[in-house]
Amino acid sequence: MSWFFPKRLILLSGLVGLVCLFGFGTAQAKVRLCNETSHVLQVAAAYQQGVASKTEGWISVLPGECQNGLADLPDNAQVFTYAKSDAAHAGEGLVFDGSERFCVGADRPDDRAGFTVEGRRDCRRRGYVEADFTPLASSSNRQTVTFTEKSDFGRRRALMAGIQRLLSDLQYDIGAVDGFGGARTRDAAAAYKLRYGIQNDPKGKALLAKLIKTVRDEASQRGLTLCNKTSHLVWAATGMLRADVFESRGWTRVPGTSCVQVFNQTLDDRYYFYYAEAMDEKGKSIVEAGRRKTWGGDQNLCTKPTRFVIRGDENCNQRGFDRHSFVQIDTGTARRWKVNLE
């Protein structure tokens, strides 16, 4: 459904051999989340046991590393996961999703903030976003989820691939993101370490940590920001026209009298789009003068109730999506842009 890189979600049951394979012992958590991609991932994990359900996130999982999730997972509960690239990454990201809806924390202002949600209904009314999770195939007591992308780096190469991608996000010439670290990658890493005074780092952990901080700082200085000038909660969706193809994404929570960055990439394209609607604390539309309070325009783009990224603006209903009318923004040659919702 999305324009993200191809990906695979490998679901591994909790056999004793996996403990050795992934190099961890008797962890408290019953779910292990492993990142074999070149992206820093933000992961949410959920379970369903009868009528009870719970979602936890965001769990930051670095390239080549594993983290624990759902420490209090009940026996025989069904586990679900959702993951996405850290918002600081430039360019196209990764999304690992499915078809089971659970509540997650809002994307902004800090999509690395932690959350715990009991239940999976009335997400918007409670200030959360719906996301489509993938169920784990195994029901064993210890389960491992491994996130991979098309290049299939494995854990060892994923760390180098992550360093390469972050250097590339900062406009360093590293060649291809291949997880091997050739001459151009070594030169770029040496220049970066010299600039930031990184020494005695044989495993690259300090380099990776500093790169993540630098990329996040850079991301805050570009992109599209929506400023909610009302006292109401606003939910917003955005769109872009890239290579003559429309792409839409949502939803972003914008609290009253606050500003939220909804698109964190440099505005390489000229035209961008947004749609927004005001809600009360119960998740119902705000009505003023007999009309729902929305911000819309003339460009119809596809949306859906849960978190989404949709490529193409045609046949929305036939493809199982909704359709909303977005406002067009002409950003010209600007690197960043701010829109006031009044």
- Residue 227: phi and psi, rounded to 5, are -110, 115
Least confident of 113-122, 139-148, 173-182, 310-319: 139-148
Tokens of 63: 């390239």
| Residues contacting 170, CB < 8 A, separation 6+ | 192, 211, 214, 215, 218
Per-residue pLDDT band at 241 (split at 50, 70, 90):
confident
**Angle 50-52-53 from CA coordinates, rounded to 5°:** 115
Per-residue pLDDT band at 110 (split at 50, 70, 90):
very low
Highest-confidence segment of 3-12, 86-95, 175-184, 197-206: 175-184
Q: DSSP code of 232?
A: S
Judged against a pLDDT cut of 80, whether residue 44 lies above it is answered with: yes
Task: Please state, in angstroms and rounded to a whole number, the distance separating the CA atoms of residues 168 and 88.
Answer: 12
> What are the sequence ranges of the domains in the chain?
7-149, 155-219, 223-341
Residue with tokens 């190099």: 23
- Strand duo 322-330 + 271-279: pairing: antiparallel
Residue with tokens 């049951």: 13
Beta carbons of 179 and 161 less than 8 angstroms apart:
yes
Query: 8: which strand partners?
Result: 148
What confidence score (pLDDT) does residue 226 get? 93
pLDDT tens per residue across span 261-318: 888 777 888 899 999 999 887 778 999 989 999 999 999 999 998 888 899 999 999 9
What confidence score (pLDDT) does residue 18 get? 33
**CB atoms < 10 A from the CB of 150, how many?**
11
Beta carbons of 11 and 145 less than 8 angstroms apart:
yes
pLDDT tens per residue across span 60-88: 999 999 999 998 888 889 999 999 998 88
Task: Give the type of residue at 6.
Answer: P
Q: Average of pLDDT values for 182-206?
A: 92
- Residue 257: phi and psi, rounded to 5, are 55, 40
What confidence score (pLDDT) does residue 138 get? 58
**Strand positions, DSSP E, 86-155:** 95-96, 100-104, 115-118, 129-135, 143-149
| Residues contacting 131, CB < 8 A, separation 6+ | 44, 82, 97, 101, 102, 103, 104, 306, 307
Beta carbons of 32 and 66 less than 8 angstroms apart:
yes
What confidence score (pLDDT) does residue 17 get? 34
Tokens of 198: 């990184």
Q: DSSP code of 317?
A: T
- The CATH number corresponding to 223-341 among 2.40.160, 2.60.40, 3.30.420, 2.50.20 equals 2.60.40
